[in-house]
Amino acid sequence: MTGNLEPALIALLSGALPALFGGAAPLVRLAALAGEFTLDPSSTDAEAGQPRSDEAQDALPFDAARPEGPYSLSRPPDTSVRKVRLTTAAGDRITLHDAEVAFDAADARRFTLALRPSRDLGGVNGVLVRYGVTAVYATLRYVQELSLDLTLGAGAAGTLERAQALAMAVLALNRGALVEGGAKTEQADAYGAQMTVKALHFAGGGAPAADLRRIRLRAEFELKGVRALADGEGAPIVRIRSPGADGARPVDIRVQADA
């Protein structure tokens, strides 16, 4: 269960070192291979299956021609604080003030933006929203083993040693991007699985064959299993009705004691 980490590894190295790994006939070919994963038994969630508070995040596209929107969240938010930011292609996150965001009173998922005229929108490509929801979910933590194989393509024999060293340098310097890019969500009917990379470590490597160099990685993952709420599930209690003695009180509490 590697999430999106395998293609993220290939994309990172191919983009950072195109002279080695890029093109239709690269000097060195790349392959990411998933090994076994080990579950953390202490990650069993005692409250799994019960509706409770959770945090959701939506990355929405930004239209420079219509920056005001409207925009729509993927899930109904609760009444907690909603944090809205603009994101840029360079990875910046620009926090918006409350006065710049207006949520629809009739539809809590829908909102519009009233950005300050002084806002520099150059490079802005998205709207990131973090908000609270009521959800049914369970979390599991596991460690996933991966191997990154570098095999000789159109390059000379000595190319592999150079490629292995440079690949490790690129991975070490871009672990943050791999952690972010390795996330993936699977959805089917009312159920979903959100896989998130929490940490990425080097585990070793070697030369199993003359035309092969291997880099072994160990990734720490969190899997959140989620289920859509059924109709009426998780709705807050508005009032409690019980048969009062005189009908004047919403709740009639009877206290009895044996003398």
Contact 51, 156 (CB under 8 A): no
**How far does Cα 88 stand from its chain's mean position?**
18
- 8 Å CB contact between 21 and 160: no
Q: Tens-digit pLDDT profile for the chain (259 aa)? A: 899 999 999 999 999 999 999 888 999 999 999 999 999 888 766 666 677 777 888 889 998 889 998 999 988 888 888 999 999 887 788 889 989 999 999 998 899 999 998 888 888 999 999 888 887 888 899 999 999 999 988 878 789 999 999 999 999 999 988 998 899 888 787 788 889 999 999 999 999 998 999 999 999 999 988 887 665 555 554 455 555 555 565 555 555 555 5
The tokens of 100 are what?
């710049």
Structural domains of the chain sorted by starting position, each given as residue range(s) with its CATH number in brackets? 5-44+137-227 (3.30.2000), 53-134 (no CATH)
Q: Can you count the helices (H) and strands (E) in the chain?
A: 4, 11
Tokens found for residue 76 = 């109904």
pLDDT score, position 237: 46
Question: pTM of the predicted model, to two decimals?
Answer: 0.66
Q: Which of these, 179, 168, 178, lies nearest to 202 by C-alpha position?
A: 168
pLDDT of residue 90: 76
Q: Tokens 């064959």 belong to which residue?
A: 209
Written as six digits, the tokens of 168 are 């490790």
